[in-house]
């Protein structure tokens, strides 16, 4: 018979995984269209191409016209499938940078599949399923750092930096700003702090995100791997396209991870409180 301490630990861990998974699922379903748009901006190299996206509005309009409403949900299954193992890893990992690095290792194969699907401009019904995309990548490119795990170093940088800034800023500011007894004002306090945390972390980690999309997305010349490692990709983008190219997709990223991060933290906290009370 397990000891009370053992039971308490696993109960709390389960509550955290469920609350985190619920928060992640809500955030993905609400914000995924912005993730598709962000990826499209990050993988395009020149605005002179007539098929390129000129602005955020232009990107939304072109995706809707050529790919339909479901085009904004391309690649949504991989991040949904990654939510539970990602949250489970976070529960048992060190906070901040440590949790970001372990999380990156878990989610990277899902990210490779997701980016491949998001880069596909065919109509939603014409593109392969997530499982077919994964099988194709493994069959043609393998399971290593040139296949289903390509872009791992960039994903490590993206998640490590984001989590370190995000959670560090959130909990420090949250503890510094007094709790409000009014439920509405307390909700607003948490939302604003989460919004600021997500926005700041997004601004700082965006170059890693651009590198990840370039490595995991289609290469400029079929059959030739131009974008291979994180830092070389960042340097190549900077030399060929300028400093601002490292911030491509920042607006949809902030629009997603700012409010999305706030929503995720709020859903997590209230779900966790409900589970502690009723479980």
**Can you give the pLDDT at residue 50?**
76
Q: How far apart are CA 227 and CA 215, in angstroms?
A: 5
Task: Dump the DSSP string for 25-38.
Answer: HHHHHHHHHHHHHH
Q: How far apart are CA 6 and CA 135, in angstroms?
A: 40
Per DSSP, the chain holds a count of helices (H) and strands (E) of: 9, 0
Q: Residues in the chain with pLDDT < 50? A: 1-6
**Can you give the pLDDT at residue 272?**
84
For 36, 212, 243, the CA distances from 116, given in Å and listed in that order, are: 11, 12, 25
**Can you give the pLDDT at residue 90?**
65
Domains of the chain: 10-276 (1.50.40.10)
**Can you give the pLDDT at residue 98?**
67
* Site of tokens 């499938």: 81
Contact residues for 80 (Cβ-Cβ < 8 A; gap 6+): 25, 28
**Can you give the pLDDT at residue 42?**
97
């Amino acid at each position: 018979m397990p000891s009370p301490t053992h039971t308490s630990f696993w109960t709390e861990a389960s509550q955290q995984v469920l609350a985190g998974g619920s928060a992640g699922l809500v955030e993905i379903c609400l914000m995924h269209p912005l993730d598709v748009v962000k990826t499209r901006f990050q993988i395009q190299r020149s605005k002179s191409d007539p098929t390129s996206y000129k602005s955020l509005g232009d990107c939304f309009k072109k995706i809707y016209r050529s790919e339909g409403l479901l085009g904004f949900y391309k690649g949504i299954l991989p991040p949904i499938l990654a939510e539970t193992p990602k949250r489970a890893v976070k529960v048992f990992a060190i906070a901040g940078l440590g949790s970001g690095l372990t999380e990156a290792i878990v989610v990277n194969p899902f990210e490779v599949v997701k980016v491949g699907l998001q880069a596909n401009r065919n109509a939603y019904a014409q593109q392969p399923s997530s499982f077919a995309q994964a099988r194709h990548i493994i069959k043609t490119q393998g399971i290593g750092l040139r296949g289903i795990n390509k872009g791992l170093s960039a994903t490590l940088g993206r998640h490590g930096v984001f989590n370190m800034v995000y959670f560090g800023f959130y909990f420090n500011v949250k503890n510094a700003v007094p709790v409000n007894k009014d439920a509405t004002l307390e909700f607003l306090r948490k939302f604003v702090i989460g919004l600021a945390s997500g926005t700041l972390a997004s601004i700082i980690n965006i170059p890693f995100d651009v590198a990840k999309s370039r490595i995991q997305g289609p290469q400029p010349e079929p059959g030739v791997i131009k974008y291979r490692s994180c830092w070389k990709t960042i340097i190549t983008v900077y030399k060929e396209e300028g400093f601002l190219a490292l911030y491509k997709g920042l607006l949809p990223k902030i629009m997603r991870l700012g409010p999305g991060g706030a929503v995720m933290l709020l859903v997590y906290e209230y779900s966790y409180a409900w589970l502690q009370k009723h479980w």
